[in-house]
Amino acid sequence: MKHTYNHPLRPQFHFTSEAHWLNDPNGMVYFDGEYHLFYQHHPESTVWGPMHWGHAISRDLVRWEHQPIALYPDRNGTIFSGSAVVDWHDTSGFFDGGAGLVAIYTQTEMIEGSDQSKQRQSIAYSRDNGRTWIAFAGNPVLADERCPDFRDPKVFWHEASKHWVMVLAAGDRLFLYTSNNLQDWTFASEFGAADGSHDGVWECPDLFALPVDGRKGNEKWVMIVSIGDNEQMPEGSRTQYFVGEFDGRTFVNDNSPETILWMDHGRDNYAGVTWSDAPGNGEDRLLIGWMNNWKYANLIPTGEWRGAMTLPRKLSLEQRAGGIRLIQHTLDALDGLRLGGTEWSDLTIESGHNQLLAEQGELLEMAVEFELGTAAEFGIKLKSGTRGDVEYETIVGYDAAAGELFIDRTKAGDSAFHPQFACKHGASLAAPNGRVKLRLWVDRSSVELFADEGGLVMTDQLFPHAGNDSIELYATGGSVRVVSLQYYPLQSVYASSTTKETVQK
């Protein structure tokens, strides 16, 4: 079957499956020059169903090559989320003394005569760089019949204690286990029943160390936990993180139990976890999330595909005024998508006089630094045409009095599929020295907004009827100065490459 990537709402530089349903990223691992991305996939439908692991490979995290399905449901059930590791020293005994890939994932099957499912952990291994997988004959390797929610194992090697560690979501908390061979798992500890947000079921944990401010010897551990949708909460499913200590068995939260740290203040970044064994200097870690929300994931108006990933992000830790915070940046490799660009400096935007930046703003990257003036509100408008008497636009704005950065997608386009999709939401953002610096990525059906030097991120889906056309800067109630602005139209990853010059204005 030939798939069309040129649908008006199909992401052009975000990962999507060739066709059909996609949710969580799974099993991300780097091995032998290749980044692997597996994902929750229903290969026969555009809504969630019996889960498989879809698979894609990239050398640069920008362009992906689709692979055959890696894991199919078997006698132990369907294949839920999980992780993959490089077993460098053949601790599992699967690789004749060499190195290979081991995937650790949840299998789910219905309990006979009930409407309940049981969730157990299984493993599979690959001797050919992830191309084919063999399910371990002794599956499942971990079960606990007391827990109906018992899933999403994330496994890593803890060098100081010389054992594998598994973090697993168990309803309203995490269970941690250790193993020497990836097959036999011993309970070590639990975390979280009284910590952080419990607005929804806990899912998709991750645990890793990062140096604070890049200083070696000054490591802290980050625990990521996604929380499922709750009908009472407009935010739907979202992701929180904790910062603390880990000794190979037990995680201790540095902050008070009621502290909640959100990874993303937008509506569409869920189930994100990090790559195992990615190359680098140890100062950051690579994460990718599912750019969707369980509140409306099965209903979004896409096409033969449904669901996309966020841009991959480099995570690091920084000491900030409020404490140690997770910082997110996009990858330099994306620079290769720029089609030239335009740079502005020292521009004043007056209330009622929008500044046109581009006639056609379908795929773009933009960095802008504003200096607060008399304007009560200012920012960027992604216009997408008029229908009847409604002018469609998405607003990325800053409310100067409230000190709040927001995305307003109430009139972004199609929102009829769910009553809570059309919304305006924001997060506090200080303006040190009266300045607000934003970086923005716009694809055909999403916007990713980075502020506070990577300390504040908002990821949102948009479904403009006519595509995004012009891009404007606006101010209300006074004026605002644009200190500098760089605007780069981007090319699709499906296009053959071309480059253009940057123009100064």
Binding-site ranges for ligand FRU (CB under 6 A): 23-24, 40, 51, 80-81, 106, 151-152, 203-204, 271
Q: What's the closest the beta carbon of residue 287 comes to ligand FRU, in angstroms?
A: 15
Which residue's CB is nearer to ligand FRU, number 5 or number 48?
A: 48
* Sequence-ordered strand ranges (E) for 92-162: 100-110, 117-126, 134-135, 151-158
Which residue's CB is nearer to ligand FRU, number 41 or number 314?
A: 41
- Taking CA atoms, 29 is separated from 59, 211, 289, 341, 425, in Å, by 12, 21, 14, 34, 34
- Taking CA atoms, 216 is separated from 281, 283, 317, 442, 453, in Å, by 10, 8, 12, 35, 21
Which residue's CB is nearer to ligand FRU, number 14 or number 41?
A: 41
SS (HEC) of 433-486:
HHEEEEEEEEECCEEEEEEHHHCEEEEEECCCCCCCCCEEEEEECCEEEEEEEE
Q: What's the closest the beta carbon of residue 49 comes to ligand FRU, in angstroms?
A: 9
Which residue's CB is nearer to ligand FRU, number 123 or number 366?
A: 123
Q: What's the closest the beta carbon of residue 306 comes to ligand FRU, in angstroms?
A: 13
Q: What's the closest the beta carbon of residue 81 comes to ligand FRU, in angstroms?
A: 3
Q: What's the closest the beta carbon of residue 203 comes to ligand FRU, in angstroms?
A: 4
Distance CA 301, CA 415 (A): 9
Q: What's the closest the beta carbon of residue 51 comes to ligand FRU, in angstroms?
A: 5
Bridge partners, residue 210, by sequence:
220
Distance CA 165, CA 186 (A): 10
CA angle (352, 353, 354) in 5-degree steps: 110
Residue closest to 462 by CA, chosen among 488, 489, 491, 441: 441
Which residue's CB is nearer to ligand FRU, number 167 or number 436?
A: 167
Q: Which positions are annotated as active-site residues?
A: 24
Distance CA 310, CA 289 (A): 5
Is residue 418 within 8 A of residue 294, CB to CB? The reply is: no
Amino acid, single-letter form, for residue 275: W
Which residue's CB is nearer to ligand FRU, number 27 or number 397?
A: 27
